[in-house]
Amino acid sequence: MQRTLSIIKPDAVSRGLAGAVLAMIQDSGLTVVAMKMIHMSKAQAEGFYHVHKARPFFADLTAFMCSGPVVVSILEGDDAIARYRTLMGATNPANAEEGTIRKRYALDIEKNSVHGSDAPETAAFETAYFFSNLEIVG
Ligand code: ADP
Ligand code: MG
């Protein structure tokens, strides 16, 4: 069993797509073991994306991520990290496969509707960034 952090980003939440994205997640067989809606501050978004601090898109990305509410959740399942990355699709929706969340809903390379952890170490950091053990079921 593995856990990964999912964020339904402001572009998707503001278009009323949180339920549709969660349905795709649950239809894929991943189990939601924690979930909440939050509206991040700029500092919280910067802390979450600290690995991207040197990237040219960091300022825009962190402004976007605190532009409205997001739905953060922890997903559990065998190989959950890779399975959720596959379900999300490529970072740039122009390159995303049919049937992926980003192909269906993403607006562009920045406003791409979902986040998913990319490795066990980042999943551990990211799940702990938003949730205490008391907020995780099972
Ligand atoms: P992913 O979310 O697929 O793991 P990255 O970790 O590389 O992608 O990037 C984090 C987020 O930063 C992306 O999901 C996207 O919102 C934004 N981003 C990535 N690359 C670009 C880019 N070239 N221009 C604008 N925003 C970007
Ligand atoms: Mg990433």
Ligand 1 pocket member 91 (CB < 6 A):
yes
8 A C-beta contact, residue 72 and residue 12: no
Q: What's the CA-to-centroid distance between 67 and ligand 2, angstroms? A: 19
The 3-state DSSP class for residue 75 equals strand
Ligand 1 pocket member 129 (CB < 6 A):
no
Ligand 1 pocket member 61 (CB < 6 A):
yes
What is the pTM (predicted TM-score) of this model?
0.98
Strand order in the sheet with 70-77: 31-38, 70-77, 2-8, 114-116
8 A C-beta contact, residue 104 and residue 25: no
The residue written with tokens 């856990």 in the block is 3
Q: What's the CA-to-centroid distance between 65 and ligand 1, angstroms? A: 11
Per-residue confidence in pLDDT tens, the chain, 138 aa = 999 999 999 999 999 999 999 999 999 999 999 999 999 999 999 999 999 999 999 999 999 999 999 999 999 999 999 999 999 999 999 999 999 999 999 999 999 999 999 999 999 999 999 999 999 998
Residue 95's identity, in one-letter code, is N
Active site residue 39: no
Alpha-carbon span 75 to 32, nearest angstrom:
5
Rounded to 5 degrees, what angle do the CA atoms 129, 57, 62 make? 35
